[in-house]
């Protein structure tokens, strides 16, 4: 288990992580989400003893990382896929890690096989590895000590669709073995498929710690409405807006509505005599739920698309 208690990190006047308290439990995949600059990487670095907390604690199995006698046997991590020696081969990199932590040499070949790096790829110097190959090597390093706790920061970055699916199945299998799996990612669709639990932070503060299904269920369900009559659809949009719904027009013949039910939209369209070609609910996604949760925590907000800056 990873235990965070009042974890805080300040860089001068900037509060990167703000009194974060959460338990990352074993036996499930916990997704760690937040906008850029939310404090995710800083939090992971504090768990691994790479950054010293200003206040609070970050514990692995009840102990600070610096107190672990054989750290690779306790926690494996991938924070930066490029953090390898530029001229040392992938296999040599893992061998050095194994020897410094009392891990048998045979384990190196086992993890290389697990991540799909064959002999030729494993002999390549670090500087020649693609981002995807570097990710696989980093995952191999995290698995090397067969630890009960695993942390991954953006593990699918640079992987092709087959590699992304492989990482998803790997995370799930590790959790099914009873391990603690803590994964940071910006790919909401992948987290929706992979994570059992979500920890979402914004500006260093905890926004939610809940099962994935609950986070998604808390987001608004949209209703798609299509009609061949633009004037009638405009009248319907006006009435829905007056009733407190949020209405977005894709074009003159299609609306997306939140804040009301499908039945309410259908009844109102009937009252107005508006013929519909589509009236369908569209369940919320993790991306939509995430955008709603973090709306006030985005550090760099983009402007509207399509018109360019003026």
Compute and round to an integer the Cα radius of gyration of the chain.
24
Q: What are phi and psi of 86, to 5 degrees?
A: -65, -30
pLDDT for 120: 78
Which DSSP string do the residues of the chain spell out, in sequence order? -EEEEEEEEEETTEEEEEEEEEEE-TTEEEEEE--TTSSHHHHHHHHTTSS--SEEEEEETTB-GGG-SSHHHHEEEES-TT-S-SSSBHHHHHHHHHHHTT--THHHHHHHHHHT--HHHHTSBGGG--HHHHHHHHHHHHHTT--SEEEEESTTTT--HHHHHHHHHHHHHHHHTT-EEEEE-S-HHHHHHH-SEEEEEETTEEEEEEEHHHHHHTSPPEEEEE-S-HHHHHHHHHHHHHTT-EEEEEETTEEEEESS-HHHHHHHHHHHT---SEEEEE---HHHHHHHHTTTT-SS----SSS---
Q: Give pTM, 2 decimals.
A: 0.81
pLDDT digits (tens, 9 = 90+) for 75-125: 999 998 778 878 888 899 999 999 988 999 999 999 999 998 887 778 888
pLDDT for 83: 80
Q: How far apart are CA 51 and CA 186, in angstroms?
A: 22
pLDDT for 157: 86
The structural domains of the chain, ordered by start, are 2-209 (3.40.50.300), 222-283 (3.30.70)
Q: What are phi and psi of 146, to 5 degrees?
A: 50, 50
pLDDT for 242: 94
pLDDT for 283: 75
Intervals of the chain under pLDDT 70? 299-310
Structure tokens that stand for 172 in this block: 């799930």
Q: How far apart are CA 119 and CA 116, in angstroms?
A: 10
Nearest to 34 by CA among 299, 277, 306: 299
End-to-end CA, the chain: 51
Structure tokens that stand for 285 in this block: 């996604």
Q: How far apart are CA 172 and CA 28, in angstroms?
A: 8
pLDDT for 302: 53
pLDDT for 49: 95
């Amino acid at each position: 288990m990873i235990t965070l208690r009042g974890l805080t990190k300040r860089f001068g006047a900037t509060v990167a992580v703000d009194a974060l308290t959460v338990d990352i439990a074993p036996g499930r995949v916990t997704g760690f989400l937040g906008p850029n600059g939310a404090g995710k990487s800083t939090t992971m670095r504090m768990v691994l003893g790479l950054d010293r907390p200003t206040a609070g604690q970050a514990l692995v199995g009840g102990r600070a990382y610096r107190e672990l006698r054989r750290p690779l046997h306790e926690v494996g991590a991938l924070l930066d896929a490029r953090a390898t020696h530029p001229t040392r081969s992938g296999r040599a990199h893992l061998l050095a890690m194994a020897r410094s932590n009392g891990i048998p040499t045979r384990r190196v070949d086992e993890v290389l096989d697990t991540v799909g790096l064959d002999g030729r790829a494993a002999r390549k110097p670090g500087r020649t590895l693609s981002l995807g190959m570097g990710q696989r090597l980093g995952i191999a390093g995290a698995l090397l000590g067969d630890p009960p706790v695993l942390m991954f920061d953006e593990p699918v970055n640079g992987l092709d669709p087959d590699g992304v699916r492989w990482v998803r199945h790997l995370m799930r299998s590790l959790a099914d073995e009873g391990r603690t799996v803590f994964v940071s990612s910006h790919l909401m669709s992948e987290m929706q498929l992979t994570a059992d639990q979500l920890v979402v932070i914004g500006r260093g503060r905890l926004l939610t710690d809940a099962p994935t299904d609950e986070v998604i269920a808390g987001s608004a369900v949209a209703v798609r409405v299509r009609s061949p009559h633009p004037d009638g659809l405009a009248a319907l949009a006006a009435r829905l807006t007056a009733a407190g719904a949020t209405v977005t027009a894709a074009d003159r013949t299609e609306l997306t509505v939140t804040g009301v039910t499908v039945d309410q939209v259908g009844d109102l369209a009937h009252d107005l005599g508006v013929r519909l070609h589509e009236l369908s609910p569209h369940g919320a996604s993790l991306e939509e739920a995430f955008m709603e949760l973090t709306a006030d925590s985005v550090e760099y907000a983009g402007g509207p698309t399509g018109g360019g800056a003026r």
